[in-house]
Every structure is written in C-alpha cells, then in structure tokens.
Amino acid sequence: MNLRQKIIKASYDAKACHIGSALSCVEIMEAIEETKEDAEFIFSKASGVATYYCMKHPLKKATELLRSYPLPSKEGGLVWSGGSLGQGLSVACGIALTGKRVYVLMSDGELQEGQTWEAIMFANHHKLPLTVVVDRNRLQALGDTEKINKLEPLEEKFAAFGWNTRSIDGHNKRMLTEALKVKLKKPRVIIANTIKGKGVDFIENKYEWHYKNLDENGYKKAMVQLNTK
C-alpha cells in the first residue's frame, strides 16, 4: 500500500474529510521528512494532517487519530495543531527566535490571513532560520484562491519582504529534496505547485473535497486508481 492509498484507507475508515488537501502534499512531506534533520516542524496546513499521520503511524493508529481534530500531543507527534489557519507561521517564528531551525508546511489559503504577512515581515527583520513550503494547489475551502482574494504574483510578494524564494513542481520529490537541502542565513520559501487531490481523477482540482467524505464506491475507485501510480 503506497502513501496515497494509506491516506484514502485511513480517511475512509475514520469517515474523515480534507482528502484533497492531504493528497496534494504527499511529496512535500516526504521531502521534508528526509531533509529536516534536527529542525522543528510545524504542520500549519492542518487540513492535510492525514498525510502526516499516515507517514508517522501504522494504519490503525493513523485512522484513530483522524477521528478527531489534530491537536498538539506526543501521541500524534504534532508540535502545533494548526487550528486557526494563519497562526502556524507565527508559532514557527517564536521557536526560531530561540535559534532553532524550523520547517513549516503551509497551505496557500493561509496566505489570505493578515497575521501570516505580519509573521513574514517579522521573520525577515530577525533573519530567522525558517524554511517555509507553501502547498500551492490554488484551492482553499470555498474555491479558487485567485477568485476569492488574489495571491499572485506570490513569489514576488515574498521577495519584496526580503525572503529567498523558489517556485517548483510540488510533486517532484527530487526537486523538492534538492531545494530543501540548501541552508541559508535568512528565511526562505519554496512555493510548491501542486494539484489538490493528486492521483484520484474525481477528487483532483475539486474544492468540494475539502469537506466531502468517501462513500464505499468512491473509496474502491480511488484505491484502484492509486494502485497504478
């Protein structure tokens, strides 16, 4: 069973939603896990937590954890729950102020929050050892980010705040890993361009799968499609 199949299985058994969000960040999480070494990790993109749980835990445990909202705990392994979207980067800044390197996975929907941009400005001012990966699947809870509140040109906006920036294919694990291995003395962002619901044709690029649960037929279809990828 590959990681995307495990996400589908755990989500189906737990009757959990946010499936599209989890499927879009698989390669990002794999690359972060391989490169972060002793850095702290903030999973700010809370809605995609099935990916984190399925990477870190056996299927039965991941399913159990998905039955409730993600909370910071030793059991689940999360430092921060990501609860109110837009707060994860601020928490990361606080940790980085102590001198620790911090990796952060954010959704692009979080970039609609004013607090996020305050944290972006703060991080550059203090030259914090932060690495942020934005899962740029272009869909937030209620639709297309560019129709709800335009984010582009996103790379230029981060650069204007003094960040080192790079935009890459968020499903190319090799490119992600190479980018994450580079160490800088200033905050940096990797904008990982992804497909929400990656790998399942009836979930891909459908914002409704932020909320929908899989029925038995959908579960079987998804598992078959992912068996060949």
Question: How does pLDDT run across 99-128, given as a tens digit for each residue?
Answer: 999 999 999 999 999 999 999 999 999 999
Bridge partners for 143 per DSSP: 140
Give tens-digit pLDDT for 56-89.
999 999 999 999 878 788 778 888 877 567 899 9
Residue 84's pLDDT is: 62
- Residues found in the chain: 229
Q: What is the pLDDT of residues 32-41, one digit of tens each?
A: 999 999 999 9
The rounded distance, in Å, linking the Cα atoms of 45 and 18 is 11
* CA–CA gap between residue 32 and residue 30 (Å, rounded): 6
Of 21-30, 77-86, 158-167, the least confident: 77-86
Q: Enumerate residues 6+ apart whose C-beta is below 8 A from 13.
A: 63
**pTM score, two decimals?**
0.96
Instruction: List domains and CATH numbers for the chain.
Output: 3-226 (3.40.50.970)
Q: What is the mean pLDDT of the chain?
A: 94
The encoded tokens of residue 149 equal 């509140």
